[in-house]
Amino acid sequence: MLRPSTAGKGGSTALLPPTSGIARSRRALADAAFRSLLTGFGLSVIVLVAGMAAQLTQAAMPAIRHFGAAFLWTSRWDPVHNIFGALPFAYGTVASSLLALLLAVPVSLGVAIYLAEIAPAGVSTVLSFVIELLAAIPSVILGLWGIFVLAPWLRASVEVRLGAVLGWFPLFSGPTYGIGLLAGGVILAIMVVPIISSVSREVLKAVPVSQREAMYALGATRWEVIRRAVLPYGRTGIIGAIILGLGRALGETMAVTMVIGNRPQISPSLFQPAYTIAAALANEFTEATTDLYVSALIEMAVVLFIITLLTNAIARWLIWRVARTAPGVSR
């Protein structure tokens, strides 16, 4: 990508007006300055991330020294007796985000395919606008809606029925509160649908028309074209969109804390309350009075940081894997 600047000095200079050596060297100087400026911007991101990691780890040191690695797999969170373990929080963070993806990905892909492939232009414009509007709703408003509308509805209509039919299955067992892991997952799903669907739509729109035309020429139906030509071509982009959504879900605080029940426990049931790291940080930081307590909260932030890094690494690896197989070739 950086090549064209050097190429300009060679063959393509014929297209430019003749310039003196001084002007050329001044241009080279400007080029170099511009280049180092941009390099500086690029590096600043790395410095920022490294600085954050270092600062967090340093502030978490008292807790790291006090609890050791057991912090990661113990489940008690007792601020009164200064006993802290992050496992239920890490579990709640991952579980609620995965649940959100499970609910949001099919819907988002459906929306994206509809908008990019099927919907008439007018409908597509209006619908895209509405989806972007959904993304703009402040999370605290979604959270309030979650308490007053979603949770009661989940309790009275969804959880009771699921419990009656599938109550024998641990995932749907136990008392129904409405507020709990399921509500947290649904709220998160609502928040990530706009992200995944709008990015996926752009990805699908970028699939070359020739891809589709080739399939149609072979006598494929619209469904076959979408399944065999469009989706495989956009795979990497769609995975990227999903990861973007996952990132949002992992870090979301306000809406989740209002409906997830904020109880640090690991329960197999979707109906039971859970807790996420981001929510715990937001909730407990202001009133954390002892040094060890504050430090334990910061160590949890480190854990969240690592979870985010890991998911992004996995996503990179997935994209790399997918991209290796030639686009347009379906299994």
Partner 1 sequence: MTLKSMTQTRHRRSVLCAVILALVLPILSVGGPARAAGPVTLNGAGATFPYPLYSRWFAEYNRLHPDIRINYQSIGSGGGIAQVQKGTVDFGASDAPLSDDQLKAMGRPIVLIPTVAGSIAMTYNIPGIGTGLRLAPENIADIYMGQITRWNDPRLRADNTTTSLPDLAITVVHRAEGSGTTFHFTSFLSLVSTAWADKVGRGTAVEWPVGIGGKGNEGVAGAVKQTPGALGYVELAYVAQNHLTYAVVKNRDGRWVAPSLSATTAAAAGGAAQIAKTNDVRVSIAYAAGPTTYPIAGFTYLLIPQEQTDDVKGKVIVEFLWWAVHDGQKDAAPLLYAPLPPVLVTIDERLIKGITYQGKALLTER
Q: Which C-beta is closer to partner 1: that of 147 or that of 266?
A: 147
Number of neighbours of residue 236 by Cβ within 10 angstroms: 16
- Among 307, 281, 303, 304, smallest CA distance to 294 is for 281
Residue 308 near residue 251 (C-beta atoms within 8 A): yes
Q: Which C-beta is closer to partner 1: that of 131 or that of 279?
A: 279
Residue 293 near residue 82 (C-beta atoms within 8 A): yes
Q: CA angle 179-182-188, nearest 5°?
A: 100
Residue 111 near residue 131 (C-beta atoms within 8 A): yes
Q: Which C-beta is closer to partner 1: that of 95 or that of 151?
A: 151
Q: How far apart are CA 150 and CA 238, in angstroms?
A: 28
Q: How far apart are CA 23 and CA 202, in angstroms?
A: 42
Q: Which C-beta is closer to partner 1: that of 143 or that of 240?
A: 143
Residue 84 near residue 293 (C-beta atoms within 8 A): yes
Min. distance of Cβ 284 from partner 1 in angstroms? 5
Residue 300 near residue 313 (C-beta atoms within 8 A): no
Min. distance of Cβ 137 from partner 1 in angstroms? 18
Q: Which C-beta is closer to partner 1: that of 231 or that of 258?
A: 258
Min. distance of Cβ 148 from partner 1 in angstroms? 6
Q: How far apart are CA 6 and CA 8, in angstroms?
A: 5
Min. distance of Cβ 254 from partner 1 in angstroms? 8
Structure tokens that stand for 145 in this block: 């809606």
Min. distance of Cβ 51 from partner 1 in angstroms? 20
Min. distance of Cβ 70 from partner 1 in angstroms? 17
Q: Which C-beta is closer to partner 1: that of 85 or that of 232?
A: 85
Residue 134 near residue 255 (C-beta atoms within 8 A): no
**17 DSSP assignment:** P
Residues that bind partner 1 (CB under 8 A): 76-81, 143-144, 147-148, 151-152, 155, 175, 177-180, 257-258, 261-263, 273, 275, 279, 282-291, 294
Q: Which C-beta is closer to partner 1: that of 183 or that of 243?
A: 183
Min. distance of Cβ 228 from partner 1 in angstroms? 47
